[in-house]
Structure 1
Amino acid sequence: MTTLFWMDFSDDSYNRTTLWRMLVFFILYVSCYKLLRKKLKESPEYCCRLVTFAHGLIASTVSCCYIMLPALGYYKVDSIPSPFILSHSMGFFMFDLFWCFAHGETWVMYFHHILTVTGLFYYLFKLEKQYFIVYAIGLTEFTNPLLQTRWFLKHYDMRDTWTFKIVEYLFFISFYAIRLIVLSYYSYEGWFNESLGFTTDDLIFTTLGALTGYALAYQMASYIVYQVKKTRKEEQEEQKLKEQ
Structure 2
Amino acid sequence: MRHDLSVPSLLKLTSFVLWNWLYFFMVEYAPDKSPEWCCRVVTLLHGSVATAIGLTQCQWRNVTPWHFTKELTSGQYILMVWSWGYFAFDLLWCLVYWTDSVVMLFHHIAALVAITRFMQKESTGCTYSCTLVLLEITNPMLQTRWFLKKEGYGNTTFYFMVEVLYLGMFLVLRGILGTYLVYLVFSTGYFDWEEKVLSVIFYAVSLAFVYDIAGYIRYKYRDEISEFREFYYATQIYTESEEFRRRAHLTHSEILNTM
Aligned to 2:202: 209
- Of 223-232 and 104-113, more deviation after overlay is shown by 223-232
- 2:72–2:123 CA contact under 8 A, matched in 1: no
Structure 2 CA distance for aligned equivalents of residues 127 and 96 of structure 1: 27
Matched, 1:34 2:28: no
Matched, 1:59 2:50: yes
Matched, 1:84 2:78: yes
Encode CA deviations 1:39-78: one digit per residue, 9 max, x unaligned: 2021111110000000001111001122238849xxx754
Structure 2 CA distance for aligned equivalents of residues 189 and 95 of structure 1: 32
Alignment of 1:169-184 (within 5 A): 169-184=164-179
Q: How big is the alpha-carbon RMSD for the aligned residues of Structure 1 and Structure 2?
A: 2.2
Aligned to 2:41: 50
Q: 1:40 to 1:167 in 2, by over 3 A?
A: same
Aligned to 2:181: 186
Aligned to 2:154: 159
Q: 1:158 to 1:231 in 2, by over 3 A?
A: farther
Aligned to 1:19: 9
Q: 1:167 to 1:182 in 2, by over 3 A?
A: same
Encode CA deviations 1:171-224: one digit per residue, 9 max, x unaligned: 111111111122111110111122x2x222111111111111101111122222
1:61 alignment partner AA: A
Structure 2 CA distance for aligned equivalents of residues 222 and 61 of structure 1: 30
- Of 94-103 and 213-222, more deviation after overlay is shown by 213-222
- 2:175–2:207 CA contact under 8 A, matched in 1: yes
Aligned to 2:256: none
Alignment of 1:202-241 (within 5 A): 202-229=195-222
Encode CA deviations 1:125-179: one digit per residue, 9 max, x unaligned: 1333232011110222111100000000000111221211111111111111111
Structure 2 CA distance for aligned equivalents of residues 30 and 118 of structure 1: 20
Structure 1 CA distance for aligned equivalents of residues 174 and 61 of structure 2: 24
- Which sections of structure 2, spanning at least 5 residues, go unmatched? 226-259
2:142 to 147, 152, 156: 147
Structure 2 CA distance for aligned equivalents of residues 220 and 19 of structure 1: 36
- Of 90-99 and 222-231, more deviation after overlay is shown by 222-231
The structure 1 segments of at least 4 consecutive aligned residues displaced by more than 6 Å after TM superposition are none
Structure 1 CA distance for aligned equivalents of residues 126 and 154 of structure 2: 38
Q: Alignment length, in residue pairs?
A: 213
Aligned to 1:9: none
- Which sections of structure 1, spanning at least 5 residues, go unmatched? 1-14, 233-244
* TM-score normalized by the length of structure 1: 0.81
1:16 alignment partner AA: S
Secondary structure of the corresponding residue to residue 126 of structure 1: coil
Q: 1:204 to 1:69 in 2, by over 3 A?
A: closer
Structure 1 CA distance for aligned equivalents of residues 174 and 206 of structure 2: 5
Structure 2 CA distance for aligned equivalents of residues 28 and 53 of structure 1: 16
2:123 alignment partner AA: E
Q: CA deviation at 1:230?
A: 8.9
Q: 1:227 to 1:49 in 2, by over 3 A?
A: same
- 1:63–1:137 CA contact under 8 A, matched in 2: yes
> Highest Rg: 1 or 2?
2
